[in-house]
Amino acid sequence: MIPSSLDDLTERPTGEAMWRGWRQRCPRCGTGRMYGRYLKVNEACASCGLELAGHRADDAPPYFTILIVAHVIVPLMLMLEQHFSPPEWLHMVLWLPLTVLLCLWLLPRIKGVLIGLQWARRMHGFGSEPH
């Protein structure tokens, strides 16, 4: 457990915090789990006690998830169409599940990255002021 007064003075490496968020771990200790369920952020880290409830990820994770998934799926779909011109049902069977699965896989990781960024930059509830 790190006292909050000491935590206010310590360096918070942004890249490491974002990587820990990608791994869905606490941005401060990297040990405690960030989520209790799929996207439900724990109130506090079970390992170091960091209050995680102060994050304000809001709509940013779905925004970045859609942005990334679209930039992966659409070029692949266009390449398949240009080179092989498969029937439409094949596009539906291939791209719809792939899009959904990729979104579901990326969403908690991107949310974790954004929470890690917020913690490292002392944004919102992660600053020195109480939220």
Q: Which residues bind Zn ion (CB under 5 A)?
A: 26, 28-29, 32, 45, 47-48, 50
Nearer to Zn ion, 29 or 77 (CB): 29
Q: How many beta carbons lie within 10 A of that of residue 115, not counting itself?
A: 30
Nearer to Zn ion, 61 or 116 (CB): 116
Q: Cα–Cα distance between 16 and 120 in angstroms, integer? A: 9
Nearer to Zn ion, 33 or 124 (CB): 33
CB of 115 to Zn ion, least distance (A): 12
Instruction: For residue 102, give both structure tokens.
Output: 């990729």
CB of 31 to Zn ion, least distance (A): 6
How many residues does the structure list for the chain? 131
CB of 6 to Zn ion, least distance (A): 14
For residues 126 and 54, the answer to whether their CB atoms sit within 8 Å is yes
CB of 118 to Zn ion, least distance (A): 14
Q: Cα–Cα distance between 26 and 28 in angstroms, integer? A: 6
Nearer to Zn ion, 25 or 65 (CB): 25
Instruction: For residue 103, give both structure tokens.
Output: 């979104």
